[in-house]
Amino acid sequence: MGITVNRTTVLTATMAVGLALTACGSDPEDTANAVTPAPEASEEINRALSFQAETTWGEEFDGESLDQVSAVLWFWSADCVECVPQAPLVLAAADNHDDIEFHGVAGRGEPDDLLDFEMTHGLDAMTNVIDADGLIWAGFGVISPPTLVFISPDGTHTTVPGAMTEHELEIAISEELG
């Protein structure tokens, strides 16, 4: 009679042995540090902020100007149906939080269409950057609009895809940027 072993059993056993071996002989403090992420998550955000782009008004915007500040980036596109009702909520939040920088990051459209959307929905009250090649979106893990990114002064950020209600947006601002 032979023993029958499926792949899941072998994989689970292999992982258990590997985990046990990596922990054996380690100082408990070293093991804890290996599992706990370092608080310096700013390297990722610094890479994401390493961009220069043109605004919808033709001015240059330097992403590194957002380093060490509280900021909200709202990712939108001119053909985004959910972005239409989201626009006044983002503008209202910007008005309610003078201590936080709010900027739009427009993508997936022609500059004229983006400017038209901006003017139609009153977004000219805040700076809107054109992400012509999608690199800013990719840097923050944005897949589709609308998406909000909350950037903390310590260099961490949280990306929240999808539309939010006014209440949800206020809660997110409070939780993420305190």
- Residue 127 near residue 115, CB atoms below 8 Å: no
Give the residues across from 101 on adjacent strands: 71
Return the pLDDT at 115.
Answer: 94
Ordered structural domains, the chain, with CATH = 42-177 (3.40.30.10)
- Residue 77 near residue 111, CB atoms below 8 Å: no
The model's pLDDT over 89-138, given as tens digits with 9 standing for 90+, comes to 999 999 999 999 999 999 999 999 999 999 999 999 999 999 999 999 99
152 φ, ψ to 5°?
A: -90, 155
- For residues 138-161, b (16+ Cβ closer than 10 Å) or e, as one string? ebbebeebbbbbbbbeebebebbe
For the chain, list residues with pLDDT below 50.
1-41
Give the residues across from 161 on adjacent strands: 147
Q: pTM for this structure? A: 0.75
Report the C-alpha gap between 104 and 114 in whole angstroms.
Answer: 11
Q: What is the DSSP string of 94-113?
A: HHH-TTSEEEEEEESS-HHH
Return the pLDDT at 154.
Answer: 86
